[in-house]
Amino acid sequence: MDNERIVIKGGNRLDGSVSVHGAKNAVLPLLAAAILTKDDVAVENCPYISDVDAMVCLLSELGANVAREDRRICVSGGVTRTHARESLCKTMRSSMFMLGALISATGEVELPLPGGCDIGARPLDIHLDGLRKMGAVADIEGNVVRCSAARLRGADIVMRYPSVGATENLMMCASLAEGDTTLVNCAREPEIVALACGLRAMGAKIYGDGTSVMRIEGVQRLHGARMSAGGDRIAAGTVVAAAALCGGDVAIYGVNAGELHTVLQAFRSRYCDIDASDVCVRVRSQGRISARSVITAPYPLFPTDMQPQFVACQCFSDGACTVRETVFENRFGYAEELKRMGASISVGKNVAAVAGDPSAMKGTAVAAQDLRGGAGLCLAAMKAEGESVVYNPRYIDRGYESFEKLFASLGANIRRISD
Ligand code: EPZ
């Protein structure tokens, strides 16, 4: 499978309609939260992506009963073990979402640190600071996170940065802690609200989710529930970018357009109309990109997970722009691959300056190094003249269901081959 690759011939318009799969970054914490009770928990709208597969393996490894029935994943019985194989945790970042659930459910956590990530160091200081404030002993020893606490107690926690994962871990800890917790400067992403809805369905008392101050009243126990993730806003944003870039008329269903406001604004131009309703985002594009600068930041501002896709489109724009990345410290790795296609990009400290030139972009062989960077390379290949080969599609498979089938259904000349 190492030689698996996606082959793309650029230049096709995109036309038709797609429904996006369930949100990866909502489903993963919901699956983690499921071990906070021994009762049956069902998580609906789970996408077929490798990060979810890995999370199912991790929950099973920890002793939970896990069964997948199409897009529903059922978890029951809670966990019987408190640490997992290093090899498994190394393959997925999302093992960190088990930190809060495990210590809350068992009072004990021993988790190998996740694999190195191409977009930044991904420290855990905000997670551990919050756990310590709630009475846990929490340390990183070598490449293992070890935490223990007889019972967590509610605390007032001011987060130095609105970390999504730390907010989610602390929500899961606070739900079963003794007393009340306040999270100040917490993350406001839609995935936070999805987790709060899931925890409330289990009996948690959470208020203020979606704002910068969340209050959580600890309860004695949580019970089984049925919960669901909405559509994946980043997968939807990726389709918006592709339609704006390639030209055509594309309708995207299954996503809450309000969660994409800054992304839609970034792609609207004199060449591209985007209409958003409660049920559909419709992109009608002439296949040309206006030069535009953006700065990534925590929700509700422009999402870092759309940064590579946006830069890929700007390589074909009618001018110059800058894209500043304020969330991760090393998220322009894919730019070198775009330059191999002919892009004019100069990368400084957390900023990329792009000089758009559609005629300079030619298909060639490129390699994905991370999930969204790989998606960006595919977008560029769908527009560039000639044929491209995108290696390491396994990175893209972490966050997109059958990326090539999704875009082939809209008319892109894209297929996966492995020999
Ligand atoms: C989540 O990662 C998402 N992953 C990421 O999506 C997303 O890019 C990110 O949030 C920001 O929106 C999942 O939900 C599975 P953070 P997370 O903690 O929780 C620093 C994708 O493409 N930080 O909000 O790891 C951190 O290094 C992935 O789907 C600390 O310094 O992100 C980063 O620079 C990529 N100390 C910044 O905060 C900490 O203790 C944001 O990280 C925690 C984080």
What is the predicted pLDDT for the residue at 63? Answer: 94
Distance 298 CA to ligand 1 centre (A): 10
Mean pLDDT across 362-381: 97
**Ligand 1 atom at minimum distance from 298 CA:** 12
Q: Which residues form the catalytic set?
A: 117
Segment 308-341, tens digit of pLDDT? 999 999 999 999 999 999 999 999 999 999 999 9
The answer to which of 54-63, 260-269, 292-301, 355-364 has the lowest mean pLDDT is 54-63
**Ligand 1 atom at minimum distance from 234 CA:** 29
What is the predicted pLDDT for the residue at 197? Answer: 98
Q: What is the pTM of this model?
A: 0.97
Mean pLDDT across 62-82: 95
Mutate to test the pocket of ligand 1, among 119, 140, 164, 238 (most ligand atoms within 8 A of CB): 164
For the cut 90, the answer to whether the pLDDT of residue 81 exceeds it is no
What is the predicted pLDDT for the residue at 93? Answer: 67
Tokens standing for residue 195: 């987790």
Best CA proximity match to 124, nearest among 148, 99, 102:
99
Residue nearest to atom 31 of ligand 1 (CA): 123
Domain boundaries, the chain: 5-20+231-417, 24-228
Segment 251-297, tens digit of pLDDT? 999 999 999 999 999 999 999 999 998 889 999 999 999 999 999 99
Indicate the burial class of 381 (C-beta count within 10 angstroms; 0-12, 13-18, 19 or more): buried
Question: Percent of the chain, pLDDT > 90?
Answer: 89
Spatial neighbors of 131 by CB under 8 A, at least 6 apart, are 99, 100, 103, 138, 147, 149, 152, 169, 170, 173
Mutate to test the pocket of ligand 1, among 20, 25, 299, 331 (most ligand atoms within 8 A of CB): 25
**Ligand 1 atom at minimum distance from 28 CA:** 15
Distance 327 CA to ligand 1 centre (A): 8
Residue nearest to atom 30 of ligand 1 (CA): 123
Instruction: Confirm whether 5-20+231-417 and 24-228 share one CATH topology.
Output: yes
Segment 176-210, tens digit of pLDDT? 999 999 999 999 999 999 999 999 999 999 999 99
Average pLDDT, the chain: 95
For the cut 80, the answer to whether the pLDDT of residue 1 exceeds it is no
For the cut 80, the answer to whether the pLDDT of residue 25 exceeds it is yes
What is the predicted pLDDT for the residue at 121? Answer: 77
**Ligand 1 atom at minimum distance from 120 CA:** 27
Q: Which CATH superfamily is domain 5-20+231-417 in?
A: Enolpyruvate transferase domain (3.65.10.10)
For the cut 90, the answer to whether the pLDDT of residue 82 exceeds it is no
Is the backbone peptide bond immediately before 300 cis, with ω within 30 degrees of 0? yes
Confidence of residue 92 (pLDDT cuts 50, 70, 90): low
Segment 213-237, tens digit of pLDDT? 999 999 999 999 999 999 999 999 9
Range 24-228 classified under CATH 3.65.10.10:
yes
Residue nearest to atom 19 of ligand 1 (CA): 165
Distance 271 CA to ligand 1 centre (A): 33
- Please name the residue that has the structure tokens 């690759």: 5
Mean pLDDT across 44-58: 94
**Ligand 1 atom at minimum distance from 189 CA:** 12
CA distances to 11, 311, 336 from 344, in Å: 20, 11, 10
Distance 13 CA to ligand 1 centre (A): 34
Residue nearest to atom 13 of ligand 1 (CA): 25
Distance 410 CA to ligand 1 centre (A): 31
CA distances to 14, 84, 251, 279, 354 from 240, in Å: 10, 38, 9, 15, 20
Distance 165 CA to ligand 1 centre (A): 6
Ligand 1 binding pocket (C-beta < 6 A) is 24-25, 28, 93-94, 120-127, 161, 163-166, 304-305, 327-328, 371-372, 399
Residue nearest to atom 9 of ligand 1 (CA): 164
Best CA proximity match to 393, nearest among 413, 363, 361, 365:
365
What is the predicted pLDDT for the residue at 91? Answer: 65
Tokens standing for residue 16: 């038709």
Mutate to test the pocket of ligand 1, among 97, 122, 370, 397 (most ligand atoms within 8 A of CB): 122
Segment 107-136, tens digit of pLDDT? 999 988 876 557 877 789 999 999 999 999
Distance 328 CA to ligand 1 centre (A): 8
**Ligand 1 atom at minimum distance from 129 CA:** 40
Residue nearest to atom 10 of ligand 1 (CA): 164
